Structure 1
């Protein structure tokens, strides 16, 4: 069975005989065609990925079926809707990239092969042909350090735990979340081999982590090498940076690549991100550093290209400008908000772009894996065509999804992945009609009205906004009289009318009886209703503040009780979908453990990441608390409720100052991270009936606020 036929049988079981798959190897741009041969639909393309995109296009725009990350199995009618006229799509985008380092921690830290296989199918269907592949890098480093003379205990102090490896691999921290078990390492090796095998079958180029000069912070004493100290990151010691002029740089790089090759084979793309997010470069010859990293990579794989993230000051121009063009691919990580490709209107404007190097237009969208609706729908479209038509467009080689956390906002990822396959600019409203019809099987007036409201409000964040992801739920913030955003660096602002979201949720509910059982619809119904409840919570919070400032004790008590009731109502609503349950996240972690102790360690990783993130110093002093907050069933009831009730009970005593100043929030939070009380990962309650009950209460709250 061919790779595409295997995909067909997984996503549309029993249907491969209804299609004719034709691979036409041709020079030039990637393409797919849809055609008809008798009763069979023909899908033609120049490689498996192009054919998979053609299959997805047919399912969406001919059969009314939308395959999403949590809805990857479809049922086709006995007679396929025919392709009445041959349809052809081409793309000039050589690369369509997937993943941020952070995605591997915020979303994928505990995925097994079944979940990875599903994701790889999704990637193929959406045209991804270049993907970061980090799984198992911890095992590479373990073996390299053993060969350098480090003990098992020393390795454990360096390699981070499963939920925090992204920041370790970006040279931000050491050891946090560990020590990892021997069985963990072996499991990661086996999983990565399966991932890479499927990627190569599809023709997805893996981007493996290359050697960037990282070493444990005690490398000078242990190895006698010359290192630079990049400083601290949010309270954590960064790994040391091996100076490029040190005689052992190439030796250690060779050792690293040999171990990577032995376990996972060579690649044509390697990712290296030295000095990420504020790393100190004092005393480092940046030109020499870039050349040393590049030379080590090319020595290992002569046709390889260096993939690097454009974030903040990185990549430093001095490090990349003297490297050969064609040997570097820059991910403009936050193109939709802070493009660095050369847009003079950007707050991160780089006059020379990426110094002639090839680059990708990327959408970051999500930070911390936070739950919430968000996007710049029309701006993402316009920004892509603006970049392509600019003087820097000649080095633009495609698009990339660089979200910190996935499994959210499916509409935005669908939009971005279609951009390369559409020949000219288009409007979001024009595109939304097709999206709705595919997602739900039809586009009714009420569904259309709901999505227009969303598209013109919460999915219409202003182009120049640098807001880091979703408009964060007030329920997830540490309470105070100045509570607004949950994470330290959100930069969020009130750019839409909350009542537009509340109205959109009500409109979806009006279609619920007709669409009951439609998985895509029911997911969206709960997600959009969840957003409406969060909006209502923020409105009631404003009443709490006003009542306190007026010293109106009865109103303060009433508003406080309403707020807590709404928070628990949100918990009940989200229990109806497994995607919004902390039990799903914790369950993934525990299932990977082979012993009770290993299960508990993995659960601790899972719990800490979504709450305090770090130890006290990192959470409070470093600002990392709630960075990866999640509006999830279980967390709302047992974690966020405790914080809010503690603060509200003290506020209702009408003190002369904000009681938040007297509350040690970390001491309230840490005990939850150490618990092992079970949480269910299966849905509880009927989502439509629960949404109806929630909407009734929202209507009552609206009257109360008025």
Structure 2
């Protein structure tokens, strides 16, 4: 076996080693010479084949959508490829118009955003993509230029397509693409591929039942694509909507890719990673298949698809057939993403196997596109004891240097570029992951992001060529992503205090010390995380109740209370124009939610103490207070337009291609954010603090828990945790996925009035020492 692997590896090396981006010509003596030389070359290599005229028109359209047709006439744009790679220039013409020139369309849009934010004190947000400029808006005369320190600025995670994008239509994508361009993002992914695979599987001889048994439902497709699961959430072949949904998703992907490329954004397309339906063994009985390992305890019906080893002739056949069709239908920017072992253990723990596997995967790409670049998530190396340094080096160096671009997926907490000596010379992108599952909760690591990029750029023999954001879900903690993307463009550390001051100004449209101080308090509290704990967004409120939870925090919680009070006091000075008040209300709901989340943690610590000490009266009192808190949380969330379960569920049903599919799409939407699997395999991983979720999912779980523990205390018996788990899974958690109750899609009540009432109640209550003996939440060091 080892001898065969060595021979295979040698043959593949001879095939592919003559093509690379020429990285070897650059000296490794300087700290960042290699990255400085390779970054612009790589950015140019994958740049879309789109004319400057098309990019200019696309940039004009972005500006028009953001500030309106009339205001956009005050700006001129120019795409000039003679400028430095990923740069822009701003100047005033004799006509009084502002000229923004850039290397590409997205650099022009980045320059426009720079002018909006730092000259006009206006900014956008995921929830605010239009800006009102006064009719007589004065346009400051500035002359400036800026070149990105990161030739590649990346955005997206394969999981974002499940946790955030699952139900999006093109209108929502249009806003997101506009935002991407304004942030200067130059590289992203386009993972939709099921319609293409459906054709291939059919032509190979699989029947509809076998195909449907493989494809997961719309909320779970990212994990089916990576070989983690199969079939879960998929529709019945008798419904007939699966094929139509895949066709519509394919058409949507074409629209998205076209819109991105017109702006000069490069799009990485999917390549074959080796995962195929189990039924393919019927078609190719002589092929060498291995079953993938069970992922997160998924049962047999939904786990363990087949993996075609890349050395197998069938791999080459499937890989080249698939990639040819992908490029025929989507075009190509010569960059393809492929992650064969995402949270899956490879079948062989040998360096020769890893070397030949990587070489074969890249060879299949190059056979279709001789200029192919492989985009790889570095996630499979994170905290995984299987991947020894020897195996990682064998895998990475099997591809010619410069032809494998690695996303260091969670650089702010678990960077792998240090361990791998800058990925053994392969170029990499420093990424802030930050969010898992699209969960809510204020958190971030401002200073780690600020300093981390410099450390990576300046390390000896650094091959860092870019920066990016890779959240599993968006729609939360916007300040962190805005900061990280600006830091990625900049060649030096940002003044974080000054940056947050300006963030408050551009966010609310008014210079006010209370608002500034509120954001400084958040900067020095919730956004100072620097530990090694896995931050998964599971707080007391959203976790399945138990007597052994360990809530913790890393900051002074009174800072959140003070920031909340300052925001409440600033209501009267928030402008009503330009949707500023809507953003203010969003932030007010979010900080109220945050403080109630913290208070629930404190209540739980005391509840647990009263249980251990068998203090029945204290336990009952605190339990009632926790339920009261959940009622208040439901009320404040219901007043915020971005915190509604109904929005998520209705979007899922709206995307269903037939009426018959609506129930399954709603099931997908509900299951993903609760049990994530048939029996809670990844329970609460994608939990959401949304109105509707609190009242009908989290509160009933806590109410049943409190009742059961109270009975145990009254009868002087230990709490039966096993019985509780069985009951709550059967009676609350699993049934929630199958419910069809409709929830509001519009907010109810005045967020400020509701927040003010909650503030007066809970800020006083947490000072009461009668039953709250210990409000301190410790940071465990593990």
Is TM > 0.5 for Structure 1 vs Structure 2? yes
Stretch moving more, 361-370 or 19-28: 19-28
Partner of 2:67: 12
Contact 1:267-1:301 at 8 Å conserved across structures: no
Cα 1:412–1:197 change in 2 (3 A) is same
**Cα displacement (A) at 1:134:** 1.4
**Cα displacement (A) at 1:159:** 1.2
Aligned partners of 1:659, 1:509: CA distance in 2, in Å? 43
Q: Give SS of 1:354's match.
A: helix
Larger relative contact order, structure 1 or 2 (CA cutoff 8 Å, min sep 6): 2
Contact 2:644-2:745 at 8 Å conserved across structures: yes
In the TM superposition, 1:570-581 aligns within 5 A as 570-581=633-644
Aligned partners of 1:71, 1:40: CA distance in 2, in Å? 25
In the TM superposition, 1:251-262 aligns within 5 A as 251-262=317-328
Query: Does the alignment pair 1:478 with 2:516?
Result: no
Stretch moving more, 360-369 or 186-195: 186-195
Aligned partners of 1:69, 1:283: CA distance in 2, in Å? 43
Partner of 2:82: 26
Contact 2:226-2:275 at 8 Å conserved across structures: no
In the TM superposition, 1:337-352 aligns within 5 A as 337-342=413-418, 349-350=419-420, 352=421
Query: Does the alignment pair 1:362 with 2:362?
Result: no
Query: Does the alignment pair 1:77 with 2:134?
Result: yes
Query: Does the alignment pair 1:443 with 2:498?
Result: no
**Residues 380-403 of structure 1: CA deviation (Å, up to 9, x unaligned):** 01000111111143x111112111
Contact 2:536-2:685 at 8 Å conserved across structures: no
Aligned partners of 1:291, 1:543: CA distance in 2, in Å? 57
Contact 1:97-1:399 at 8 Å conserved across structures: yes
Aligned partners of 1:660, 1:36: CA distance in 2, in Å? 69
Partner of 2:573: 514
Partner of 1:687: 751
Partner of 1:697: 761
**Residues 644-697 of structure 1: CA deviation (Å, up to 9, x unaligned):** 000101212215323433212311211111011101111111111111122122
Contact 1:143-1:259 at 8 Å conserved across structures: no
Cα 1:392–1:531 change in 2 (3 A) is farther
Q: Give SS of 1:311's match.
A: helix
Cα 1:511–1:59 change in 2 (3 A) is same
Aligned length: 683
Partner of 1:129: 186
Contact 1:374-1:469 at 8 Å conserved across structures: no
Q: Give SS of 1:233's match.
A: coil
Aligned partners of 1:468, 1:203: CA distance in 2, in Å? 34
**Residues 371-429 of structure 1: CA deviation (Å, up to 9, x unaligned):** 11110001101000111111143x11111211111111110110111123323223311
Aligned partners of 1:593, 1:72: CA distance in 2, in Å? 27
Q: Give SS of 2:436's match.
A: coil
- Corresponding residue to 2:535 among 447, 462, 468: 468
Partner of 1:386: 455
Stretch moving more, 323-332 or 222-231: 222-231
- Corresponding residue to 2:205 among 141, 146, 149: 149
Aligned partners of 2:632, 2:77: CA distance in 1, in Å? 49
- Structure 2 length-normalised TM: 0.85
Partner of 1:635: 693
**Cα displacement (A) at 1:294:** 0.4
**Cα displacement (A) at 1:23:** 2.5
Q: Give SS of 1:353's match.
A: helix
Q: Give SS of 2:423's match.
A: coil
Partner of 1:504: 563
Q: Give SS of 1:326's match.
A: coil
**Cα displacement (A) at 1:510:** 1.0
Q: Give SS of 1:399's match.
A: strand
**Residues 145-192 of structure 1: CA deviation (Å, up to 9, x unaligned):** 112211111011111111111111122111111036122112101111
Partner of 1:345: none
**Cα displacement (A) at 1:208:** 1.0
**Residues 227-278 of structure 1: CA deviation (Å, up to 9, x unaligned):** 2233111123232221222222211112211322333223321110011113
**Cα displacement (A) at 1:630:** 0.6
Cα 1:25–1:510 change in 2 (3 A) is same
Query: Does the alignment pair 1:647 with 2:705?
Result: yes
What are the ranges of 5 or more consecutive residues in structure 2 without an aligned counterpart? Answer: 1-55, 236-240, 773-782
Partner of 2:233: 177
Partner of 2:741: 677
- Structure 1 length-normalised TM: 0.94
Cα 1:524–1:191 change in 2 (3 A) is same
Aligned partners of 1:406, 1:275: CA distance in 2, in Å? 25
**Cα displacement (A) at 1:283:** 7.0
Cα 1:36–1:449 change in 2 (3 A) is same
What are the ranges of 5 or more consecutive residues in structure 1 without an aligned counterpart? Answer: 343-348, 486-492
Q: Give SS of 1:704's match.
A: coil
**Cα displacement (A) at 1:528:** 1.3
Aligned partners of 1:280, 1:657: CA distance in 2, in Å? 44
- Corresponding residue to 1:526 among 589, 610, 617: 589
Contact 2:216-2:232 at 8 Å conserved across structures: yes
- Corresponding residue to 2:393 among 302, 317, 334: 317
Poorly superposed stretches of 4+, deviation over 4 Å: none
**Residues 423-480 of structure 1: CA deviation (Å, up to 9, x unaligned):** 3223311221221111111332111221111111110002x4243244x331111111
**Cα displacement (A) at 1:559:** 1.0
**Cα displacement (A) at 1:286:** 1.6
Aligned partners of 1:261, 1:43: CA distance in 2, in Å? 33
Contact 1:230-1:275 at 8 Å conserved across structures: no
Q: Give SS of 2:377's match.
A: strand
Aligned partners of 1:497, 1:626: CA distance in 2, in Å? 27
Contact 2:274-2:308 at 8 Å conserved across structures: yes
